[in-house]
Every structure is written in structure tokens, then in C-alpha cells.
Amino acid sequence: MTDLHAAALIAVIALVTMALRFLPFLIFRNRKTPAYIAYLGRVLPYSIMGMLVVYCLRGVSFANLSGWLPALISCAVVVILHLWRRNTLLSIIGGTVCYMLLVQLIF
């Protein structure tokens, strides 16, 4: 493994990532955004956030209690904290501390 090849790998990964980010903007740059795309833009954020939550929890396993209970309890803590105070930082820190305590001390 040479440093040159490592640098080439980084360049390729950076370019593909950049292409994916710029493509939608380049395609629809000079025309009015089509109604269908505008519709997707309005509803997609809600769907994508649902998808990312599932993505984060993709590793939960129902084979034993420790595979899913800490994540379930901590997610519930996040939801309850957020419905109660609606303070983003509090919800995140509360949920994360809860999860760390659960996996380190109990499960």
C-alpha cells in the first residue's frame, strides 16, 4: 500500500461524494424546478428522517435483551424529553447518557 494509492483512493471517494451532492443542483440549475421535484422536496425530508432513524437502529438484535432494550429505552427517553421540553440539546444528551449508562452498567 503506497501513500500515492491511498491519496488516489481519497481523491476518488471525495469526487464521487461531491458528484452526488452537486448533481441535483446542476441538473435543475437554470429551469424552474419541475412540480414533481418540488413535491418530492417538500415531503422527502419527513421520509428521510424516518429512514435515518431506522438506519441508526439497524444493528439492534432481538436475539437477547441487551440487543434491543437499551436502544428502545433510550429512544423513548429522547422522545419523552423532547415532547416535554422541546430542547434539542437536552433531548440528545439525555438520551445518550441514558444509553451509555445502560450499556456500561446494566446490560
Partner 1 sequence: MKPNTLKTAFLSTLPVMAGYVVLGTGFGILLQSKGYGLLWSVAMSGLIYAGSMQYLAVDLIAGGAGLITAALTTLMVNARHLFYGVSMIDKYKNTGKFKPYLIFALTDETYSLNCGNLPAGVEDGPGYYFLVSILNQCYWILGSALGSMIGSVLPFSSEGIDFSLTALFVTVFVEQWKSTKDHLPALIGAAASVLCLVIFGMDNFLIPAMILITLALTAIRKKEEDRHD
Length of the chain: 107
Among 68, 69, 73, 99, binds partner 1 (CB under 8 A): 99
Using the rule CB under 8 A, which residue among 47, 66, 67, 106 binds partner 1?
A: 47
d(CA 24, CA 93): 34
Give the residue carrying C-alpha cell 425530508.
45
- We find the least distance from the C-beta atom of residue 10 to partner 1, in angstroms, to be 6
**Nearest distance in Å: CB 97, partner 1:** 9
Q: Does 72 bind partner 1 (CB under 8 A)?
A: no
Q: Dihedral sign for Cα 6, 11, 14, 17, please.
A: negative
- Grid cell 441538473 is found at 27
By the rule CB under 8 A, 49 interacts with partner 1: yes
Count Cβ atoms within 10 A of the Cβ of residue 102 and give its class: 0-12 exposed, 13-18 middle, 19 or more buried. middle
Residues that bind partner 1 (CB under 8 A): 1, 5-6, 8-14, 16-18, 20-25, 28, 33, 36-59, 70-71, 74-75, 78-79, 82-83, 86, 88-89, 91-93, 95-96, 99-100, 102-104
